[in-house]
Structure 1
């Protein structure tokens, strides 16, 4: 995404920044992406960091990657590494600007002391339940804490003892002294520090008090010289508090701008719910190809360029809206249609015997790797007396507009001959087990303008040369458009979201590299699983179907 696309991808945030630069309000653009390392990133995060990195790129600025690691109980290095890998995978680079909120713990502590000395913060010794009761409601003001008027000296002593580890978790909390009657609940003496005797993934056991997000967030932006703190709409009511801390401390003031978060149909993006899906084994892990996590999408075979296109296409606005999952899937199809090599694979094999083709002959036919890109070359397709086609390409009593195979009917085998069904073989149960056909051996490479014409084309593999592979048919994880509207979102899980089958494929597909993606012609796009595939035993994940099959269902 470069400056040449600015007009195409214009949005209200970009317009604000452009105006600020033009009138001299800002001299540079510095943004940041501040994830908490307590889980894996999902497609909603991709929208956020694509926006932040994209704006910095468009305006020749910089974007920082800063981990909000203020809660040691939930944070792990595993998540830090995964988040860095996801951001890089989408093509973004923070350069030397990798930061952690924990980098600023010493300075944040000094600023907390500064606010205590100024009479703007106090140590509260109420229980959590008492604080909830005294906070008030949206229609009733809160009640001042009985500890709100402690002296500066007493507050400093207590805060120092909190830091020294002299109190158990929950015994005291440091709060900002603002206004318990404010209509904005976030300004009703919000918490700044809590006692937490927990090992931190970077600072170890140095601290037993940790800053709250609302206190650490804005100050971290200020320290780094972030000019635009871009976040989602749920933080709009937090902006007055963000600005209050900055103003009281007299430090550099970034500008917070909010935009609507991504709401994607047939998906949940609550970290709590995603963690439940993992922990209770409704999915195989954070990287399950049905998950909306970026690591799951990468394993499924979604190209990073498709995700960036999706983030640009859906735009940035202030109003909450729902994006249909088909928009993302269309971006994936568009990208893979350009890049994926074509191959033949049969998922529901039905045997075809060619009566007029020599039983001992193996013919090597040529087929393009990509029909629209001849520069990608060709590959060899083994053709033999016995073949397999897909069972769905045959009907004993086909309707009028069924242009595939039936008794007495003709079709073209993809990149091969025209065949005609002469006889249908059934087993004792009456099931069709074999088709005996004849081939027009003069139709190989025939131009459609030539004499022998047919409307139907079907895919196939040689029964002699085809290889068996495991294919995993992934689909949407939920079968309700908005799973959160269900009485229990788990009840909206799609029981058909994961199925496995054994497919017959072209022989060369047995040795492909993990992560390689192909279009199985007339079937869909499939990617070699990066986790479960072994040498000579590839496992193929369905990345996306050739068309939106859910549109018909809706």
Structure 2
């Protein structure tokens, strides 16, 4: 407790700033504390490290060693003409983990004859699969798996299955099946075939019988507690390490196991009363070889097979067999399944079928977020967020609603590359990547979030100027639009200050004129009006038609009073949690870690009326956009209002939210203009 108090009350600010580089200093300071001077440092270090992790979260790119500054090379003088080359675009499929993968047919086989049939089917083409469980919505981490599997196959002119791993009917719902396919389409991929693990239930059952006949499978009626004890798992800590022993049913005759498995199939047992286990190697140090469960009894109606089955295969039994049956050349999964490779290959070899090669890469984590289905459900049920597609979450449905383009996600993953290490990325880095993508792909509009009316007294109501603005400066493909300037406009409240002495404020003040974007002359302050609470309600200004001011210090955006379009709501989104690592908090603590400003709703904003032209043309597709490495054409089948994206000049990037209706327009801020 004393260490926790010291870290949170004495040194937390410095720790957050300097992160893990401060650790040696903390070790030294803690050892000076009166009550801890004579404690074993090894014990203290474990506690300190644990508390630092709780505050900072896992190490990420901020904690990577800073590269040493390169010494400038001596200049060489020669007569050769210098050549300039464009910086090569990174390609995740040709480098790192994916670049090192074996070619089709090169993975070793215990039974070489199985390879011949495999190659006859694949014809040398890469075959991968994306095998989600249809028990929840995909999140940002899944987007990496989608891109790894679909992208790797596409890069090698191969095929990728979408295979629903529907072996747990208790948790599966139609909405998850539908959402998964929609998100794959949204990311720009089309499955070669859509299959289901349940397509293979009859074959899997036959393989289970074969396993028993080979004396490599047995029916076990032990309780969960007994199974854990036999595996040497401590009942208090849950940690392995104790003596392992065989189940009392393990060595009963094969005929008994076949009869008992038939009874399981016929519904003679209730859930938990009997399971089918693989007869592996209890002496093996890997827990994945400690007689894994192959089948269990479930009294649940399956979404596709109905009540046909009373027993269902486990992931450990199903996954590798279906990979083999579908002739998968590369079974690509994340590193938490690394130990599973041994049991995966063991089972395929026992059944004498093609041994697909499982290979593992590091998963993607983003700071300040949670991915747990159980925890997101708590946020939804407690009405902290609207639903599973709330823009503050990192489900793919949420990111889509927030307005993040699918191409931005793919581009982000490509820049990270694929390695065997878990990738912990700051959310700010993700947003920077999104911002960079939007910078090249969306038009600009003038949006005023907190409008204050400016009346230009020396212009009459009939005065009007057509101001021409490009939708994107420097790119004529986006086209141009006309905005009418008259004697009444709206500017941002923050673009006016009553304090003329502030030398760092370059916008409108009583003594300082300001330029209006694409308006020929500046405006100068004359007077203002306030309400009874002292809030400015109106500014009176003068149009500098005589050009007494040659060049203003800056230009601000504005909207015309005559043609301004009201916005019902603008929703500004920020990080949902205060901490960098909310996943490390307890199931109750994380609910108190909510950032109260994660969603700021602004009413009364105004936008130029060219907004409706952008709506009509969205998404605006240009030749330069099509040339982007990860351009994804969004169709009406999988995309809605979020395709309407634009930059609110000087403010950020926005999209139209699903909640928009005839009653009013609702905008979501995708990301700010700058970090």
TM-score (norm 1): 0.92
- The Cα shift of 1:10 comes to 3.3
Per the alignment, residue 106 of structure 1 pairs with 202
- The Cα shift of 1:456 comes to 1.2
TM alignment of 1:194-213, pairs within 5 A? 194-213=296-315
- The Cα shift of 1:441 comes to 3.1
1:483 aligned onto 2:582: yes
Per the alignment, residue 647 of structure 2 pairs with 519
CA distance in 1, matches of 2:264, 2:216: 18
TM alignment of 1:408-419, pairs within 5 A? 408-416=511-519, 417-419=521-523
Asked whether the equivalents of residues 277 and 283 of structure 1 are also in contact (C-alpha less than 8 Å), the reply is yes
Question: CA offsets, 1:388-407, max 9 Å, x none?
Answer: 11111112225212111111
Per the alignment, residue 141 of structure 2 pairs with 44
Change in 2 beyond 3 A, CA 1:414/1:326: same
1:401 aligned onto 2:497: no
1:119 aligned onto 2:215: yes
Per the alignment, residue 331 of structure 2 pairs with 229
Asked whether the equivalents of residues 163 and 195 of structure 2 are also in contact (C-alpha less than 8 Å), the reply is yes
- The Cα shift of 1:437 comes to 1.2
CA distance in 2, matches of 1:8, 1:296: 25
CA distance in 2, matches of 1:489, 1:246: 42
CA distance in 2, matches of 1:22, 1:142: 38
CA distance in 2, matches of 1:56, 1:409: 61
- The Cα shift of 1:377 comes to 2.0
Per the alignment, residue 595 of structure 2 pairs with 494
Per the alignment, residue 564 of structure 2 pairs with 466
Residue among 146, 159, 165 paired with 1:62:
159
Between 426-435 and 498-507, report the one with greater CA deviation: 426-435
Count of residue pairs brought into register by the alignment:
536
CA distance in 2, matches of 1:6, 1:225: 30
CA distance in 1, matches of 2:472, 2:89: 29
3-state SS of paired residue (2:261): helix
Asked whether the equivalents of residues 90 and 415 of structure 2 are also in contact (C-alpha less than 8 Å), the reply is no
- The Cα shift of 1:320 comes to 2.3
- The Cα shift of 1:460 comes to 1.2
TM alignment of 1:295-310, pairs within 5 A? 295-310=397-412
3-state SS of paired residue (1:410): coil
TM alignment of 1:13-412, pairs within 5 A? 13-17=97-101, 20=103, 27-95=124-192, 97-137=193-233, 138-398=240-500, 399-412=502-515
Residue among 639, 644, 656 paired with 1:528:
656
Asked whether the equivalents of residues 513 and 525 of structure 2 are also in contact (C-alpha less than 8 Å), the reply is yes
3-state SS of paired residue (1:507): coil
Asked whether the equivalents of residues 231 and 257 of structure 1 are also in contact (C-alpha less than 8 Å), the reply is yes
CA distance in 2, matches of 1:187, 1:541: 50
Unaligned runs of 5+ in 1: 444-449, 549-554
Change in 2 beyond 3 A, CA 1:372/1:224: same
- The Cα shift of 1:45 comes to 0.4
CA distance in 2, matches of 1:6, 1:400: 44
Asked whether the equivalents of residues 141 and 180 of structure 1 are also in contact (C-alpha less than 8 Å), the reply is no
CA distance in 2, matches of 1:276, 1:117: 46
CA distance in 2, matches of 1:241, 1:400: 70
Per the alignment, residue 447 of structure 1 pairs with none
Change in 2 beyond 3 A, CA 1:527/1:32: same
- The Cα shift of 1:423 comes to 2.1
